[in-house]
Amino acid sequence: MTIDLLSLTPEAARSALADWLSARGEPAYRIRQILPRLWQRPVGRWSDATDLPAPLRTALDAALPLQRLTLRTHQVSSDGTVKFLWALADGEAIESVLIPEGKRRTLCISSQAGCALGCVFCAAGRMGFRRNLSAGEIAGQVREMVLRDPAQQPTNVVFMGMGEPLLNWDAVDTTLTILNQPEGFGIGARHITVSTVGILPNLAKFAKRGEQFRLAVSLHAPSPALRRELMPIEKKYTLPELTAALKQFRRRVTLEYAGTDARLRAASEAARRRGCVAAEPRPRHQRGLRSATGGSRRSASRPPPPGAESRRRGARSHRVSARCRAEPRCAPPPAPRARARPLSRDRGGR
């Protein structure tokens, strides 16, 4: 029987290692040599940990193998953004995206293979749900970045790739600990963001964690009726219920809004929140949208920059922080998400 150490919290991995080493009659100090090789100074395989005796490395490979993600392909845009397509052990595929911004390196990671939610603007929703990822597969997306280049370890992580993180809560809960703990990747809690459509039972569990992790909510519509048209989850967890839950969160919350021309016009309704929401519209290139009820595809075209700018000014008039983002310089350009965030006086840190 093998143990997947990479799907355990650092504390649980330490305990499992201690039991395994004790059963082999190994000295206790071996834990201090082995544990950092999981996340702090990771190795791709135990045979690369040359500070360990060869017989121990062989035994580790047999009993505690290190699961890897296999890189199928990657694409690089001219602004440095890199999209990775990873193959999992069972042949499923997931994506992650590395976004360099000055000294910041943000990695957007997946939590599921595919997605069951069926939001009309999301490509993962068209795949349908395949399966949940293990904590090792989720955190492994960060681990693979470090293995590629230790100097380029991500400084920020966002759960904004394939899948709904709060529908895979147990694995995401463990991954948050791996990312944040000093014996894991040691990334500050305020540099880790979970993006969700608002799965209320698990949102409450996330809110109970003591660390100051960031929360982003996929809003995408200013009214329940429009949100229901775009996001079927609105039928189960309504916008009023979600709003009430967010008021209990008592931390900075980012509201995400994927802007198309028509919906950017509708976004003016958000001004009624008078300081609660800051809209950050981004241009979105022409793409077809499925009806949430399975009907015909809808057309969504890139909004003109003047329209986005006027909404930024409108948000500012209500003392709301807002900015318009330039589209990436790549061909064909990706269709990035828009974000909306509240004013906040807090700053970065753990």
Residue ranges with strand state E in 32-161: 70-76, 82-87, 93-101, 104-108, 112-114, 129-132, 156-159
User: In a 10 Å sphere around its CB, with 0-12 CB exposed, 13-18 middle and 19+ buried, how is residue 339 labelled?
Assistant: buried
Question: What residues are paired with 74 via a beta bridge?
Answer: 84
Of 158, 157, 238, the closest CA to residue 195 belongs to: 158
d(C-alpha 184, C-alpha 195), whole Å: 21
Helix, strand or coil, per DSSP, at residue 275: coil
214 contacts 194 by C-beta, under 8 angstroms = yes
Is 122 annotated in the active site? no
DSSP 331: S
Phi, then psi, of 183 in degrees rounded to 5: -80, -5
User: Any idea which residue has 């199928």 for tokens?
Assistant: 72
* Residue of 108, 119, 122, 324 marked active site: 324
> In sequence order, what DSSP letters do the residues of 50-85 get, joined into one string?
TTS-HHHHHHHHHHS----PEEEEEEE-TTS-EEEE
* Residue of 26, 95, 164, 256 marked active site: 95
Is 324 annotated in the active site? yes
d(C-alpha 31, C-alpha 164), whole Å: 35
Active site residues: 95, 324
